Structure 1
C-alpha cells in the first residue's frame, strides 16, 4: 500500500510518501519526502500554485492509494487558520484532479497510532517514524516527520479498516 501524507502549512508544507508492506508488522519504506516552502513576500496565488503543483506531481509520480492530511485545530489564530486553509485547499484540489481519496487525522490520533498514547512528544513520534521506515536518523525538519507520521497513521487505520474518507 502506498500512502501520501501532508502536514499542511502555507510557509512550510510537509509532504511524504511511504510504501507499507501488505502483511505482518507495520514496516514501511520511504519513497519520497520534502518540505514545500513559500515566502510571505510572495503573492498568495504563487504560494498556493507552488503547493498545488508539488503535491499533484507527487500524487502522479507515486500513485498512492490514499492521501492523509493532518486536521488542523485553531482557536484564536484566525489569520493562521485562513492561510493554512489556502494550503489545504491546494492539496484537496490536487487530490481531486488525480482521483486520490483523502483522509484526515488529528494530532492525538497520530500520536496514538505511532507511539501508543495520545500525549506523545513530537520527538517520540519522529523516533517511531524513524524506526518504522528504517531510517538512520529521525526525519527533519519536523514538517517532514509529521507528514510521514500522518501517512503511517493512515496505513495503521487502513489495516484496521477504520479509515473514513474526508
Structure 2
C-alpha cells in the first residue's frame, strides 16, 4: 500500500514545503483583524466594521480546520524527537481546542449579528480578548517548534534520518 504514496522530499514531506504555516498565518491574521475591527467599531461607533469582523471570523473558522488537517499530516511526518514531543502535543491539543472555541465564538457572533448587526456587547469583547491570548500562546508554541526544534528543517530531517536524534 505504501508504494502508492508519493516519496518524501528532503523536508520529509510529500509536497515541496510545509502548508500548515501558510494556512495558519491566514487564520491568525483574520482572527486578529476581526478583533481589531470589533474594538475600533465599538469604541469608534463605526458599525460597518462589525460586518468586516464577522466575515473574517467566518472564514477563519473554516480555515482553521484546513490548518489542522495539514498540521496533523505534517506533525505525523515530522517524526519529532524527544525534546520536541511535549511542545508538539501541547500545540496539537491547543489547535484542536482553538477550533472548537473559534467555532463557538463565531456561532455566538452570528447570533449577535442576527439580533443587532450594529453593536457587540462587552462580554463578547471579553471573550475575544481571551481568544486572542490563546492564539498568542498557540503562535508561541508553533514558533518554538519551527525555530527552536527545527521540525521539517533540513538539518533536523537529516539528523533524524541518520539516527543522530
- Structure 1 or 2, whichever has the larger Rg, is 2
- Same fold per TM (> 0.5)? no
Higher strand share: 1
| TM-score (norm. length: structure 2) | 0.27
Higher helix share: 2
| TM-score (norm. length: structure 1) | 0.27
